[in-house]
Amino acid sequence: MTAGLEHGMLVAAVTLLAIAAVLELAARLRGLRPVLPVYLPLTLATLALLAAIAGRWQREEQGPFLTLYDVLLSNLFSLALLFLAAGLMAPLLRSTAAVILPFLAALGIWLLLAPAAAEPLPPTFDNPWLWLHVLTGKLFLGLAMLAAGCAIVALARSGAQADLKAAMWQLLSLGFVCHSFMLIAGAVWAHSAWGRYWAWDPLETWAFVTWLAMALLLHARVTFRRMPDSLARAGVVAIFALAFLTFFGVPFISLAPHKGVM
């Protein structure tokens, strides 16, 4: 796949995500709960992103791991895929579409504006632990996004919203497990790549801060049973915001060697 065709696939994907977001918001304003009109463009967008990744991978002969463009591309695909699967398997989570679809469309616009030039992967990326580290990281971010979506929808609605509240905590708990595996796999990868398990570089530090924030919030839920629901939901949204900044901010403003450069 040529770079021009790849860009065209991305434009199509972002356009489809925007269409899905507009259809979802319009339907919600009319009191409707659409499935096919929203999930059809979402499915097509996910397939277009998959095609763009496959074409870029074949052309560059390396995976989308290093640059901001690569990270945005791979995470937009994984987030869209996870949201698509969650919405089809768990109808309750479809209510988060009004929050998540505009977010995915905005992420896609950022992707289109990012420099698309590829950079050679350093030898440290040739490691099987990298795959587990990346996979569990993407699962964590997707689950945190879904949990934040539940929290925002519950905050915007009146009433107890017990089902959304339960789903929010379940998603956050699963995300915590994935985040823990991400840290473990990353440490093993770091030892294989650089001869150390942990170096407190900015990305490692903020990833640990995110894990600690999740642990504290989950612990508070068990310990302080009278914790206000609004405070808990705001905490879940804050954790996703922290995770987002860790994934898409810290690695690209820091000169630390976490990108794989010795």
Residue type, 183: L
DSSP annotation string for 114-158: S-----PPPGGG--HHHHHHHHHHHHHHHHHHHHHHHHHHHHHSS
Distance in angstroms (rounded) separating the CA atoms of residues 89 and 15: 25
Answer whether residue 40 shows pLDDT above 60. yes
Q: What is the mean pLDDT of residues 230-252?
A: 89
Confirm if 217 and 234 have CB atoms less than 8 A apart. no
For all residues of the chain together, what is the average pLDDT? Answer: 88
Q: What percent of the chain has pLDDT over 70?
A: 94
Q: Across residues 140-158, what is the average pLDDT? A: 91
CA end-to-end span of the chain: 32
pTM of the full structure: 0.91
Q: How far is CA 152 from CA 81, 176, 253, in A?
A: 21, 19, 29
Is residue 251 within 8 A of residue 203, CB to CB? The reply is yes
Angle between helices 162-194 and 128-156 (to 10 degrees): 160
pLDDT in tens, 107-146: 999 999 998 888 888 887 888 888 999 999 999 999 999 9
Q: What is the residue extent of each domain of the chain?
A: 1-119, 122-262
Integer angstrom CA distances of residue 109 from 51, 115, 140: 18, 12, 23
Q: How far is CA 212 from the centre of its chain?
A: 18
Secondary structure (3-state) at 174 = helix
